[in-house]
Structure 1
Amino acid sequence: MFRLEMDRPVARIVIDRGEKRNAIPIGCWSELERIAAAAAASDARLVVITSADPASFCAGADLSEMPALIEDVKKRHIFRGAMTSALARIRGMGKPTMATIEGGCFGAGVSLAMACDMRVAGPNATFAITPARFGISYPQPDLMRLIELVGPGQAARLLYTAETIDAAEAHRIGLVELLCGDGVCGKSIVDSIAGNAPYSLYALKATMAGRFGVEKRFDDAFSSADFQEGWEAFSSRRKPDFVG
């Protein structure tokens, strides 16, 4: 249900299970992790997670599999582990990531969007985190990310009420960073990021994440080919043409 589309310098992870509103079966989380690893290893400067069907970004976990978890303790562990591992792979990617959200984004779909650095929502996007409707909970890493984005009060509101909010409200509380109109959602920001220096993008992401060696990355940037091209372009008042 996931596929990787390369349109260098952009890699797109496309969710394509429209007949089930892009709900993710337990067995497909490992597929997502594998594709995310391939995107991370590619020469793309930016990874975008999107859906093939504009009516739904992701309905979350496949609810038809939930009754089996009542009796099958092992399957519960497999579900939680596979989902956690896939989302950690996306969060840990060394290059910028962005989710473009059109249509419904619910439950684990919100987790998937939150695993990215940025979220752009189309005019018909809707969001809900609904474990309270089913008598279950939500993974702690995803709860912490939700609180980081919207604050504890708004996180409590979304979780306790399980209410659906529209794109404008999601933007107001900080769940998404940008709203887009009709057309290709997020195209302008994708083009803007993809046109910038790869060295800078990777170094800035590592620095924001507090990863080891960021001081050396800062120093080494001045001897990079990207800096040479960027400075020559600035001096010549032309658009830089970064390679890599």
Structure 2
Amino acid sequence: MRMSMFRLELEGPVARVVIDRGEKRNAIPIGQWSALEKTVNEAAASDARLVIITSADPMSFCAGADLSEMPGLIDDVKKRHIFRGAMTSALARIRAVNKPTLAIVEGGCFGAGVSLAMACDMRIAGPKSTYAITPARFGISYPQPDLARLAELVGPGQAARLLFTATFIDAEEAHRIGLVEMVCGQAATGCDIIDSIAGNAPYSLYALKATLAGRFGVDKRFDDAFASADFQEGWKAFRSGRKPDFAG
């Protein structure tokens, strides 16, 4: 197997974490969760203002955990802990990124793939994307942080429906219940939302995300913003009727 099924693509203010294991529908083996976390760390440390998680295969965003490894967990208690710990750590790292994160979902998004998308701030769905959370079909459960995030997004009742029935839903239904924020005809481009986010002030993006997350020090961030170079540029642009040019 290749060293990593994830790669980082940097393009101006945008960092893309690309899932690239199309031959296995982008299912993530246990050993690859740490590679995902490493790639996300690199994206977070870059000069990008927006981090996108997407797939190289338009037919599959992520099929979830690699099911071929599941039988190995029957008798290996240590491996179970390693699996849960690596997956939980990678998803927690995505949630902790200090800049906006966006999942662009095309094709199938199942199981832990839904967790991966939910770890981002926003989700953009391709019109042919499909979603399912299917632990009940295999006699297993789902990590508590992911269940909490699911209930936060769609509400307890819809979360129960998805989990208890293990049913598949399409992009429109995912949008209706709040699992995704937008359905876009050209999901790979993210409609106009990528340019809209990436063109805004870095200071504002990071401060607003910290405030939404309820992190400490957000009052000081609000006060300090007025002394920032971003505010000076934004105000000058507003007064002169031009588009601001934020340096990053």
TM-score band w.r.t. shorter chain = over 0.9
The equivalent residue for 1:74 is 78
> How many residue pairs align between the two structures?
244
Aligned twin of 2:163: 159
Residue equivalent to 1:133: 137
Counterpart for residue 107 of structure 1 = 111
* Alignment check: 8 A CA contact 1:48 1:97 kept: yes
In structure 1, how many angstroms separate the alpha carbons of the residues matched to 2:134 and 2:174?
15
Q: Please name the residue that 1:53 is paired with.
A: 57
Find 1:19's aligned residue among 11, 23, 31: 23
The structure-2 alpha-carbon separation of the partners of 1:183 and 1:27, relative to structure 1 and needing over 3 Å to count, comes to closer
- Residues 9-29 of structure 1, C-alpha deviations (whole Å, 9 max, x = no match): 000000000000000000000
Equivalent of residue 220 in structure 2, options 212, 216, 223: 216
Letter in 2 for 1:182: Q
Check the 8 A contact 2:104/2:187 in 1, yes or no: no
Quick one: which amino acid aligns to residue 210 of structure 1? G
What is the 5 A alignment of 1:223-242?
Answer: 223-242=227-246
Spell out, residue by residue over 1:72-110, the C-alpha distance to the aligned partner (whole angstroms, 9 max, x if none).
100000000000000000001100000000000000000
C-alpha deviation, 1:8, in angstroms: 1.5
Moved over 3 A (4+): 182-185
CA contact (8 A) 1:131 1:138 kept: yes
Q: 2:107 corresponds to which letter in structure 1?
A: G
Q: Is the 8 A contact 2:50 2:198 kept in 1?
A: yes
- Contact 1:125 1:167 (C-alpha < 8 Å) held by counterparts: yes
Whether the 8 Å CA contact 1:121–1:185 is kept in 2: the answer is no
Residue type of the partner of 1:16? D
CA distance in structure 1 between the aligned counterparts of 2:164 and 2:128, rounded to whole angstroms? 24
Structure 2 residue 62 is the aligned partner of structure 1 residue 62? no
Q: Which residue of 1 aligns with 2:99?
A: 95
State the partner residue of 1:179. 183
The CA distance in 2 between the partners of 1:237 and 1:160, in whole Å, is: 54
Aligned to 1:132, what secondary structure does the other structure show?
A: helix
Change (3 A) 1:160 1:23: same
The residue matched to 1:184 in structure 2 has which SS? helix
> Which of 146, 157, 173 in structure 2 is aligned with 1:142?
146
Question: Is the contact made by 2:104 and 2:188 (CA closer than 8 Å) also made in structure 1?
Answer: no
Distance 2:188 2:70 in 1: 34
Query: Match of 1:206?
Result: 210
TM-score normalized by the length of structure 1: 0.99
Residue 116 of structure 2: SS of its match in structure 1?
helix
Given that residues 120 and 185 in structure 1 are in contact (C-alpha distance below 8 angstroms), is that contact kept between their aligned partners in structure 2? no
Deviation of 1:184 (Å): 3.3
Q: TM-score, normalised by structure 2?
A: 0.97
TM-superposed deviation, 1:187: 3.8
Distance 1:147 1:154 in 2: 8
1:53, 1:183 → 2: CA distance?
A: 12
Displacement of 1:147 in angstroms is 0.1
Q: Deviations over 1:167-223 (max 9, x none)?
A: 000000000000100363414100100000000000000001111100000000000
